[in-house]
Amino acid sequence: MYTIKPIRTEADYQSALARALVIFQAKPGTLDADELEILVTLIEVYEAQHHPISEPDPIEYIKYKMQEKGLLQRDLAVWLGGESRVSEVLNRKRKLTAKMMKALHQNLGLSAEVLLSAA
């Protein structure tokens, strides 16, 4: 029987992860499902404090989204002010302007928070 307790150390974290994997397929409404819900909450809190995920680089984020959506530089030209401007931005020779960030956010659904980190 696993005893739920606060996750204070990396060993506690690894133990909680191992237990969560064992009961991952628990049926809703069972004791195992309740235990899993509590463990996931504890794991998320520990990870947020000790294993934070940093925001991606804004330019790499744009390139990733372009690849994911099958877009070319010319596809972004209408929003960024021409193909040469897109090239300059993607090659880090020109910073994103607020207008560019807004266009990328509105038209491609890119995270405004990530784009703003480029400013």
Write out pLDDT tens, residues 35-93.
Answer: 999 999 999 999 999 988 887 899 999 999 999 999 999 999 999 999 999 999 999 99
Q: Do residues 39 and 20 lie in contact, with contact meaning Cβ atoms separated by under 8 Å?
A: yes
Mean pLDDT along residues 99-104: 94
Smallest Cα–Cα separation from 58: which of 70, 50, 66? 66
Highest CATH level, class, for 58-116: mainly alpha
How far apart CA 110 and CA 60 sit, in angstroms, is 12
Please tell me the pTM assigned to this model. 0.58
HEC string of 61-86 equals HHHHHHHHHCCCHHHHHHHHCCHHHH
Q: What is the pLDDT of residue 56?
A: 85
